Amino acid sequence: TGRPGPVVVDIPKDVQFAIGTYTGPTDVKHKTYQPRLRGDVRAIAQAVDLMAHAKRPVLYTGGGVINSGPKASQLLRELVRLTGFPITSTLLGLGAFPASGKEWLGMLGMHGTYEANLAMHDCDVMVCIGARFDDRITGRIDQFSPRSQKIHIDIDPSSINKNVKINVPVIGDVAYVLEELIRAWKAKAATVDKTALKTWWAQIDRWRAKKCLSYKNSDDFIMPQYAIQRLYELTKDHDTYITTEVGQHQMWAAQFFGFESPNRWMTSGGLGTMGYGLPAAIGVQMAHPRSLVIDIAGDASILMNIQEMSTAVQFRLPVKVFILNNQYMGMVRQWQQLLHGNRISESYTAAMPDFVKLADAYGGIGIKCEKPGDLDDAIKTMLKAPNDKPVLFDCRVAALANCFPMIPSGKAHNEMLLGEEVTAEDIDKAVGKEGKVLV
């Protein structure tokens, strides 16, 4: 069809053994898939009008901004400069807008920030750019952003009105549409309601004051959040690319590693494929041989494709695998604890391999760190490792740390739970029967 995405080509064995004359492709024209690149002028005018009259706006961006190309991210930043609107993002949209920007609210959704989720819940105009309103973002669908007028910019017409009713659909490529939107905004000499926006930002700052990502640190054992924070601080001045496996470590990486530009964050969203991170890191390292490439992993997820260490060794790729080792499939254990009466089943691994010895067995380098006071030096050792060998970094973290904030399944954005002080009883009361089956 020409539509972007994976394609399976099944070639029969007799064809594989047949001898023929190769004929290269000519100018291929897709008869069925002809995506519209430019947005409808009237729809863009409607969007500009809604945005100009917004009292409590929010920009909600997704992986479509990244997929559209670098220009889309540049235009997104220009739009934020023009309007001063707060901006949030899905997991796959991280980096399209800099995490250091004052308008940045953090990630949206199930493990998103308090300020991002409440801004989405209370906004009056929401501009969705290259995202698809999946269930990890919306929470309870009938309570998602209930009082907002919704603008949806997307190249895929099938995404429009699929999950959420849209007031102003704009079908087109994000880069083209943002360029046209900015042009229309300037041509109209549109302005925002500065008084209302100031009031809105004051409310957002009160939500920010909750410090929803705070956690209780320890001098005795490494908290996983602290591990990601230190990894970020010690690598942010490098030419760094991050991949992840899937699980708690993935969410902590999204929360605590700041991305300033697009295409620096490669993770499996949507399908959530455990084992993605190491092969992805190998691919990124091949494409960027002089860059620092780190796979932030969990001890269970890394074992899904650990055999690819031999690929990294064979091709002399200095991929760094930073394992948050808690001996659990952490996200599974968290759901079992919080939603299923702490009935822990098949999520703990008593026979975890020695990752230092495993790295050595493959011909790589192994590092282990167990104490917070040793963490910085251990990370620096990893960064100074020879540039022709992969590294497995076994970071022993608190076994039972949970990933918060969290919107329980079946609940709305304004019903999110904050912090480790939340008890299982609190969550049991917060989650209805229907929520417990929406895992």
Alpha-carbon gap, residue 158 to 403, rounded angstroms: 33
> Do residues 126 and 55 share a domain?
yes
The pLDDT, as a whole number, for residue 330 is: 83
> Do residues 305 and 391 share a domain?
yes
> Do residues 271 and 134 share a domain?
no
> Do residues 204 and 160 share a domain?
yes
The pLDDT, as a whole number, for residue 436 is: 47
Instruction: Indicate the residue among 177, 208, 239 that finishes a domain.
Output: 208
> Do residues 199 and 337 share a domain?
no
The pLDDT, as a whole number, for residue 420 is: 59
Residue 274 lies in a domain: yes
| Residue 14 phi, psi (nearest 5) | -65, -35
Host domain of residue 343 = 224-396
> Do residues 295 and 176 share a domain?
no
Residue 219 lies in a domain: no
Supply the CATH number for residue 145's domain: 3.40.50.1220
Q: What is the mean pLDDT of each run of 10 residues along the chain (439 residues)?
A: 80 94 84 85 98 98 97 98 98 98 97 97 98 93 95 94 96 98 97 97 97 94 98 98 97 98 96 95 98 98 97 98 93 85 85 96 98 98 97 96 90 86 56 49
Residue 217 lies in a domain: no
Residue 436 lies in a domain: no
Residue 69 lies in a domain: yes
- In eight-state DSSP terms, residue 222 is B
Size of the chain in residues: 439
Alpha-carbon gap, residue 424 to 339, rounded angstroms: 8
Instruction: Indicate the residue among 381, 396, 411 that finishes a domain.
Output: 396
> Do residues 77 and 175 share a domain?
yes
> Do residues 123 and 247 share a domain?
no
Q: How many helices and strands in the chain, by DSSP H and E?
A: 16, 12
Q: How many domains is the chain partitioned into structurally?
A: 2
Alpha-carbon gap, residue 322 to 392, rounded angstroms: 6
> Do residues 107 and 178 share a domain?
yes
Residue 249 lies in a domain: yes
The pLDDT, as a whole number, for residue 309 is: 98
> Do residues 168 and 248 share a domain?
no
The pLDDT, as a whole number, for residue 1 is: 59
> Do residues 237 and 381 share a domain?
yes
Residue 4 lies in a domain: no
Supply the CATH number for residue 270's domain: 3.40.50.970
Provide the whole-model pTM: 0.91
Question: What are 264's two structure tokens?
Answer: 């620096």
By three-state DSSP, how is residue 380 classified?
helix
Instruction: Indicate the residue among 208, 240, 257 that finishes a domain.
Output: 208
> Do residues 274 and 151 share a domain?
no
The pLDDT, as a whole number, for residue 382 is: 99
The pLDDT, as a whole number, for residue 422 is: 60
